[in-house]
Amino acid sequence: MPELPEVEVVRRGLAKWVTGKTVAQVSVLHPRAIRNHAPGPKDFAGQLANQKIEAVNRRGKYLWLELKSGIAVVIHLGMSGQVLIQKAALAPHKHVRIKFTFKDSKKEMNFVDQRTFGGMQITELVPASSSSSSEVIPDTVIHIARDPFDPHFEPDTFIDGIRRKNTEVKRALLDQTLMSGVGNIYADETLWRAKLHWAYPTNRLTRAKAAELLSHATAVMTEALAQGGTSFDSLYVNVNGESGYFARGLAAYGREDELCDRCGRLIIRDAFMNRSSFRCPSCQPKPRS
DNA sequence: CCGGCTGCCTGTCGGC
DNA sequence: TGCCGACAGGCAGCCG
């Protein structure tokens, strides 16, 4: 459930359930899920046994469990990852990759991932940049910019940054080092709201337009979060296996040949960056070169 | 720095 | 019915 609102739905569900609990045992059922943990599955499981979980945090599409010992378990859902809290007796899901059991609960935490682009990694926590507080962040997440839901997010840093870039606006929205959390769906929704074509050059954005773009991105993700995220099918669910409802709130993404909510023209699909981009040909015309 | 491309995986869907 | 290609919400890395 890969973009910011969906990851935040998972973080909230996990925080509520797992905070304060102590890990009993960890089983790595598919080694690819911990491919970024060099010492391997045995070491991964060994480091986590008997550890108490203090908090669940997130930046962009990355979330992590903070352990009392000062390390973190970074979780990335990739394209199809889920974290499910389930009764141990339940018939195991076909794609469970990592299983956590706890000393203070009969339920398990299962990392389920059909396409195995997601995974977990144990990481040191280091001080977060440009913050005077004692905020810490996993060192494997340092390269990810703050997202718009972060209390330390600086709008001007994003606005100046995107205007300095010499690229297309959709590419910039997907660039997790400029601002994190936006993926293909919310990029298309943001561009539709801003009436911008995906190829619009970032260096032609005025300060006001860049600020507008940011406010649309923030608004659409806020609305999606309030609806429990966007789900098209059972691959994208919260920790209880439930889908969100924002798919019905989408104005552009996945709506090829449907009417634009604003002008009534048919939404079209373009291939861009080896993926689909949906736009209204009238509201979001191709920029003049 | 930028843009185009590839690889990493499994599954579903539509066309022939 | 089966085969085959296109496509799916992400990201890192390589090359020119």
The partner residues of A73 in beta bridges, in order of sequence, read A65, A122
In this model, does residue A79 exceed pLDDT 80?
Answer: yes
User: In angstroms, rounded to a whole number, what is the distance separating the alpha carbons of residues A218 and A234?
Assistant: 26
Question: Is residue A17 domain-resident?
Answer: yes
CB A250 within 8 A of CB A189: yes
Among residues A122, A173, A125, A176, the alpha carbon closest in space to that of A146 is found at: A176
User: In angstroms, rounded to a whole number, what is the distance separating the alpha carbons of residues A163 and A186?
Assistant: 20
Residues A79 and A207 in one domain: no
Question: Is residue A285 domain-resident?
Answer: no
Please report, rounded to whole angstroms, the spatial distance between the CA atom of protein residue A232 and the C1' atom of nucleotide B11: 15
Domain span at residue A121? 4-141
Q: Of A115, A141, A167, which residue is a domain's last?
A: A141
In this model, does residue A3 exceed pLDDT 80?
Answer: yes
Within window 6-25 on A, which residues have Cβ closer than 7 Å to strand C? 6
Which nucleotide lies nearest residue A235, CA to C1'? C9
In this model, does residue A128 exceed pLDDT 60?
Answer: yes
A281 catalytic per annotation: no
Task: Residue A37: give its domain's CATH number.
Answer: 3.20.190.10
pLDDT tens by residue, A169-201: 999 999 999 999 999 999 999 999 999 999 999
Which amino acid type is present at position A70?
G
Residues A122 and A16 in one domain: yes
Where do the DSSP E strands lie in chain A? Answer: 23-28, 53-59, 62-67, 71-76, 81-87, 96-102, 105-113, 119-127, 136-138, 268-272, 275-279
Degrees, nearest 5: CA angle A249-A255-A257: 145
Question: Residues A225-237: what's their mean pLDDT?
Answer: 84
Please report, rounded to whole angstroms, the spatial distance between the CA atom of protein residue A241 and the C1' atom of nucleotide B11: 19
Q: Picking from A4-18, A78-92, A256-270, which range would have the lowest pLDDT averaged per residue? A: A78-92
DSSP state of A230: -
| Cβ-Cβ contacts under 8 Å for A282 (sequence gap 6 or more) | A260, A263, A265
Q: 3-state SS of chain A: helix, strand, coil percent to 5?
A: 30, 25, 45
Question: Is residue A214 domain-resident?
Answer: yes
A3 catalytic per annotation: yes
- What phi and psi, each to the nearest 5 degrees, are found at residue A189? -65, -40
* Residue A94: predicted pLDDT: 84
Residues A130 and A172 in one domain: no
In this model, does residue A139 exceed pLDDT 70?
Answer: yes
List Cα–Cα distances, A79 to A10, A13, A147, A163, A265, in angstroms.
14, 19, 19, 29, 31
* Residue A130: predicted pLDDT: 65
Q: Is the dihedral of CA A78, A79, A84, A88 positive or negative?
A: negative
Question: Is residue A286 domain-resident?
Answer: no
Residues A91 and A10 in one domain: yes
Residues A129 and A194 in one domain: no
Band the pLDDT of A285: cuts 50, 70, 90.
Answer: very high
Question: Is residue A284 domain-resident?
Answer: no
Mean pLDDT of chain A: 92
Q: Is the dihedral of CA A135, A132, A77, A46 positive or negative?
A: negative
Residues A83 and A116 in one domain: yes
Among residues A102, A108, A92, A280, the alpha carbon closest in space to that of A195 is found at: A280
Q: Of A78, A112, A141, which residue is a domain's last?
A: A141
Band the pLDDT of A132: cuts 50, 70, 90.
Answer: low
What is the radius of gyration, based on Cα positions, of chain A? 20
Question: Is residue A187 domain-resident?
Answer: yes
Please report, rounded to whole angstroms, the spatial distance between the CA atom of protein residue A69 and the C1' atom of nucleotide B2: 42
* Count of structural domains, chain A: 2
Q: Of A141, A163, A178, which residue is a domain's last?
A: A141
Residues A20 and A136 in one domain: yes
CB A232 within 8 A of CB A247: yes
Counting residues of chain A whose pLDDT is more than 90, the rounded percentage is 76
* Residue A8: predicted pLDDT: 94
